[in-house]
Amino acid sequence: MVNNKFALAIVGFGGMGNWHSELIADFDDLFVYGIYDIDPKRIEYAKSKGLRTFSSLEEVLSDKNVDIVLIATPNDAHKPIAIEAMKAGKHVVSEKPVTLSSSDLQEMIDAANKYGVVFTVHQNRRWDADFRIMKKVYDDNTLGEVFNIESRVHGSRGIPGDWRGKKKHGGGMVLDWGVHILDQMLLLVPEKVKKVYAKLTHVTNYEVDDGFKIFLTFESGKTALLEVGTSNFINLPRWYMQGENGTAIIYDFDAKGKIVCVQDWDEKDVVPVKTAAGLTKTMAPRRDDTIKEISLPEVKTDIHDFYKNVMAAIKGEEEIIVKHDQVMRVMKLMEAAFKSDELNQVVDFE
């Protein structure tokens, strides 16, 4: 520590590395001690922000003042850097996905246990308001027994043209966004996942997936659809949750949406809908007096809580929030999705 502050070094000062530096600037007991990047342009950018720069990873790890190493490099570099950092006695925060396979992750966990350091993953989407709102709707049983949940992230710019489009660097949308929405879904539904079926897309990139649909069946029979698309010019809702007594929807990251619940199941005198070729009572809209619209619950969320927890865990005051077994479960679920797509069949999970 330096002046009773935790000193953090950032390895990989791209977009996310810079985001971390801006977040950490809000703390009184944590600061960016320095950064290291192999790109001279990023080094110069860091200097322009008044940040100290290291000339090598070895220099970072040999500096006794460094308490925490944040790894924000391409995905394939996370594991070797993390293990070297832990070997040097540094606590480690890795960007997601933590690595490319469950076997690699186990090596990282083993290193953390061996060297007695805190090792965790920046699963920052746990603090998104849209997720926290839907979790509260689920936990409060607002819709009655939930039987289906849909979680989507849609864009229209294709897969990024940098390392995220390269298989060797751990590119693709399953690893980039699947790691987030799968983590959210497993936290939302506290059940075993029994079945996994996945279809990956290659609209703009043939080396890695540029989108996917993953279908999960939980132990109780409830289902979840998780979808990421990068060729969507009309977006579907971010969240759509169905329960026996109502439906909840959130349209986008701004967390705007609504809940509609039934008031009267035995609606009388249903007015049929006239279609071009007939009538339907089954799909006729409900009268206003048989349903009620409810506002989404308000939640308070603060991404600063992530680093507060990391520091508390280092001091032995709290358990780490993003736990090893949770990270491993998501990693194995992504592997099951890749297997399902390759085999074009449903695969068993837990």
Selection from 214, 156, 139 nearest residue 180 by Cα: 214
Q: Return the bridge partners of 176, or none.
A: none
Averages of pLDDT over runs of 10 residues in the chain (350 residues) are 95 97 97 97 96 97 98 97 98 98 98 98 98 98 98 95 90 97 98 98 94 98 98 98 98 97 88 89 90 96 98 98 98 98 98
> Does the pTM exceed 0.85?
yes
In a domain, 287, yes or no: no
Residue 267 confidence (pLDDT): 82
Element (H, E) at 197: strand 193-201
Domain containing residue 22: CATH number: 3.40.50.720
In a domain, 306, yes or no: no
Residue 200 confidence (pLDDT): 98
HSE of 282, CA atoms in CB hemisphere, 13 A: 1
Residue 39 confidence (pLDDT): 96
The total of structural domains in the chain comes to 2
Residues 160, 232, single domain; the answer is yes
Residue 303 confidence (pLDDT): 97
Residues 114, 18, single domain; the answer is yes
In a domain, 61, yes or no: yes
Residue 161 confidence (pLDDT): 81
127 alpha-carbon distance from chain centroid: 9
Residue 330 confidence (pLDDT): 98
Domain holding 37, by residue range, is 6-122
Residue 268 confidence (pLDDT): 81
Residue with token string 């997720």: 131
Residues 183, 224, single domain; the answer is yes
DSSP string, 220-277: TS-EEEEEEESS-SSPPPSEEEEETTEEEEE-STT--EEEEEES-SS--SPPPEEETT
In a domain, 167, yes or no: yes
Peptide bond between residue 97 and the one before it cis (omega within 30 degrees of 0): yes
Residues 175, 193, single domain; the answer is yes
The answer to whether 347 touches 194, Cβ cutoff 8 Å, is no
Residue 247 confidence (pLDDT): 98
Q: Which residues contact 199 (CB under 8 A, 6 or more apart)?
A: 212, 213, 341
Residues 171, 245, single domain; the answer is yes
Which among 122, 143, 160 is the end of a domain?
A: 122
DSSP string, 68-101: EEEE-S-GGGHHHHHHHHHHTT-EEEEPSS--SS
Strand runs labelled E in 19-143: 30-36, 68-71, 91-94, 119-121
Which among 107, 122, 137 is the end of a domain?
A: 122
In a domain, 337, yes or no: yes
